[in-house]
């Protein structure tokens, strides 16, 4: 990433925006042509035209760059366009400078956590989230409790994205907002790491208390009331990533199952020669190929028509991949006998992890609900009697 001095930061003040835009306009080609004109004392119209072309070209390039590198944020008209015009600022900043501060997330030197789920309410319905975010002058004051914030115990975890309620009186899907909160902000207490089936899962899932945590307005993501919309948008890529890892675990389990079944002998023949074991192996291969193709289809649609249009496929694979992988790992454990549930093989850990995937990023039932609603919508305006009449 290119270095970007703070004094060029357009921030949210008009004068800073104008100053940064002027600096942006004084770009190298334009300056070079002007310099040439000055040195050679040529003030002909074509020199000025060339200088103007230089300015414009760079402006266009910077605007496009700003669009491309804007981390998917739609450019806001007005100040947003100015930021895009100075290119580098928009490349690395969002509307309130969040991106420049969190660039280390991209190279892994900083970790972050996402805190939405709460112990007190059924959080598979995001509208239930209760953590209060009360406006007080130029800040919000956060009070509430979260749990299962994955990564929050990572040694490099510096920030959390916290979802809470800014306006409990607004429409159900406009009550929530998301804010960036430093993990060491006054009032934030990481209470404990939650084990998963007795395992300490990766960097752990934290329970966190928020007591009068003050968050400046600039650290609200996208805007007040946008929390629910963000939560819908961000989960597509995360979900497909889970599915890819589930497929990897299923492949590894199948490999271990085959090796073990061929190397162990019971009742005078290798375990692999039993029909039920061959059935498990064949089904594992068939099922892995099915979920792989569904994952590919979902990924293709996300790339070509976007997350929203691909929501049925994303939900379908989020249900199917962990379920299929879990069955394969379970059978591989069975083939391994007692060894399968120990730490000598990676199967028990894989099972525990895959089982959590049927809950994390939304339980199966909630994804199935979404798929069913999409299917039902297709026939909403077709009463059953009309369909029967058409069939007969």
Ligand X SMILES: Cc1cc2nc3c(=O)[nH]c(=O)nc-3n(C[C@H](O)[C@H](O)[C@H](O)COP(=O)(O)OP(=O)(O)OC[C@H]3O[C@@H](n4cnc5c(N)ncnc54)[C@H](O)[C@@H]3O)c2cc1C
Q: Where does this chain bind ligand X (CB under 6 A)?
A: 114-117, 122-124, 148-150, 196, 201, 205, 356, 359-363, 365-366, 369
The DSSP result for 285-304, as a single string, is HHHHHHHHHHHHHHHHHHHH
Could you tell me which residues come within 8 angstroms of residue 261 by beta carbon, excluding any fewer than 6 positions away?
270, 271, 272, 277, 281, 335
Q: How far is the CB of 196 from ligand X (least distance, A)?
A: 5
Residue with Cβ nearer ligand X (58 or 183): 183
Quick one: 205 or 260, whose CB is closer to ligand X?
A: 205
CB of residue 372 to ligand X, shortest distance in Å: 10
Q: How far is the CB of 67 from ligand X (least distance, A)?
A: 30
Alpha-carbon distance of 351 to 354, in angstroms, equals 5
State which H helix or E strand residue 266 sits in: strand 265-266
* Distance of closest approach, residue 121 Cβ to ligand X, in angstroms: 7
Of the pair 45, 122, the CB lying nearest ligand X is at: 122
Q: Which two tokens stand for residue 353?
A: 């992890």
Name which of 27 and 307 has its Cβ closer to ligand X: 307
Shortest distance, CB of residue 292 to ligand X, whole angstroms? 23
How many CB atoms lie under 10 A from the CB of residue 336? 23
Dihedral through CA 122, CA 123, CA 128, CA 132, nearest 10? 120
Q: Minimal distance in Å, beta carbon 123 to ligand X?
A: 4
Comparing CB distances to ligand X, the nearer of 201 and 226 is: 201
Closest CA to 239 of 361, 112, 365: 361
Cα separation, 33 vs 49, in Å, equals 10
Query: Within a 10 A sphere around the Cβ of 326, how many other Cβ atoms?
Result: 21
Comparing CB distances to ligand X, the nearer of 17 and 163 is 163
Closest C-alpha among 160, 251, 269, 173 to residue 213: 160
Q: Would residue 125 be called left, alpha or beta, if left means φ above 0 and alpha means ψ between -120 and 50 degrees?
A: beta
Question: Within 13 Å and on the Cβ side, how many CA atoms surround 134?
Answer: 9
Angle at 349 between CA 346 and CA 353, to 5 degrees: 130
Nearer Cβ to ligand X (201/313) = 201
Which C-beta is closer to ligand X: that of 340 or that of 362?
A: 362
**Least distance between ligand X and beta carbon 251 (Å):** 21
Q: Are 187 and 142 in contact (CB under 8 A)?
A: yes
- In terms of CB distance, is 196 or 324 closer to ligand X? 196
> How near is the Cβ of 322 to ligand X at its closest, in Å?
11
Q: How far is the CB of 7 from ligand X (least distance, A)?
A: 37
- Judge contact between 55 and 31, C-beta under 8 A: no
């Amino acid at each position: 990433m290119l270095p970007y001095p703070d004094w060029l930061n357009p921030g949210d003040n008009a004068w800073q925006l104008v100053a940064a835009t002027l600096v942006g306009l004084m770009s190298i080609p334009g300056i070079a042509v002007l310099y040439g004109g000055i040195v050679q004392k040529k003030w002909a119209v074509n020199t000025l035209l060339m200088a103007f072309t230089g300015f414009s070209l760079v402006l266009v390039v910077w605007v496009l760059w700003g669009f491309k590198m804007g981390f998917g944020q739609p450019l806001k008209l007005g100040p947003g366009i100015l930021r895009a015009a100075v290119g580098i600022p928009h490349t690395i900043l969002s509307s309130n400078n969040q991106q420049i501060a969190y660039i280390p997330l991209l190279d892994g030197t900083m970790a972050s956590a996402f805190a939405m789920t709460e112990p007190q309410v059924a959080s598979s319905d995001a509208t239930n989230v209760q953590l209060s975010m009360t406006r007080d002058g130029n800040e919000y004051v956060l009070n509430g409790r979260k749990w299962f914030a994955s990564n929050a115990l990572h040694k490099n975890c510096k920030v959390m994205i916290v979802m809470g309620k800014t306006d409990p009186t607004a429409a159900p899907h406009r009550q929530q907002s998301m804010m960036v909160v430093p993990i060491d902000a006054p009032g934030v207490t990481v209470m404990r790491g939650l084990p998963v089936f007795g395992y300490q899962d990766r960097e752990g899932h934290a329970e966190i208390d928020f007591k009068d945590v003050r968050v400046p307005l600039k650290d609200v993501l996208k805007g007040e009331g946008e929390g629910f919309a963000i939560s819908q948008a961000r989960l597509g890529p995360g979900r497909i990533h889970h599915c890819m890892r589930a497929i990897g675990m299923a492949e590894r389990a199948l490999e271990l199952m085959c090796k073990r079944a061929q190397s162990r002998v019971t009742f005078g023949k290798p375990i692999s020669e039993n029909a039920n074991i061959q059935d498990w192996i064949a089904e594992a291969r068939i099922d892995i190929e099915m979920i792989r193709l569904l994952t590919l289809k979902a990924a293709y649609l996300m790339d070509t028509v976007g997350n929203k249009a691909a929501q049925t496929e994303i939900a379908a694979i989020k249900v199917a991949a962990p379920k299929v992988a879990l069955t394969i790992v379970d059978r591989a454990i069975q083939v391994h006998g007692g060894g399968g549930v120990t730490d000598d093989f990676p199967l028990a850990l894989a099972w525990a992890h895959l089982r959590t995937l049927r809950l994390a990023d939304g339980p199966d039932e909630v994804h199935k609900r979404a798929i069913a609603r999409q299917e039902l919508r297709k026939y909403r305006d077709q009463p059953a009697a009309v369909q029967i009449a058409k069939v007969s």
